[in-house]
A and B are shown apart, each in its own frame.
Chain A
Amino acid sequence: DIQMTQSPASLSASLGETVTIECRASEDIYSNLAWYQQKPGNSPQLLIYDANSLADGVPSRFSGSGSGTQYSLKINSLQSEDVASYFCQQYNNYPPLTFGSGTKLEIK
Chain B
Amino acid sequence: EVQLVESGGGLVQPGSSLKLSCVASGFTFSSYNMHWIRQAPKKGLEWIALIYYDSSNKYYADSVKGRFTISRDNSKNTLYLEMNSLRSEDTAMYYCAKQDYDWFAYWGQGTLVTVSS
> Which residues of A are interface residues toward B (Cβ below 8 A)?
32, 34, 36, 43-46, 49, 55-56, 87, 89, 91, 94-102
> Which residues of B are interface residues toward A (Cβ below 8 A)?
35, 44-47, 50, 59-62, 95, 101-105, 107-110
Main DSSP-derived SS at the A contact region: loop
* Chain A nearest CB, measured from B44 CB (Å): 5
Given contacts A43-B95, A43-B110, contact A96 B47 (CB under 8 A): yes
Q: Please list 17 pairs of residues, one from A and one from B, whose beta carbons are closer than 8 Å in the complex, sorted by A's number.
A: A32-B102, A43-B95, A43-B107, A43-B109, A44-B107, A49-B103, A89-B45, A91-B102, A91-B103, A94-B102, A95-B47, A95-B61, A96-B47, A96-B59, A96-B62, A99-B44, A102-B45
CA A88 to CA B95, docked complex, whole Å: 17
Collect the chain A residues with CB atoms within 8 Å of residue B107's CB: 43-45
Collect the chain B residues with CB atoms within 8 Å of residue A89's CB: 45, 103-104
Main DSSP-derived SS at the B contact region: strand
* Chain B nearest CB, measured from A29 CB (Å): 11
Collect the chain B residues with CB atoms within 8 Å of residue A94's CB: 47, 50, 102
* Chain A nearest CB, measured from B59 CB (Å): 4
A46 and B47 contact, CB distance less than 8 A: no
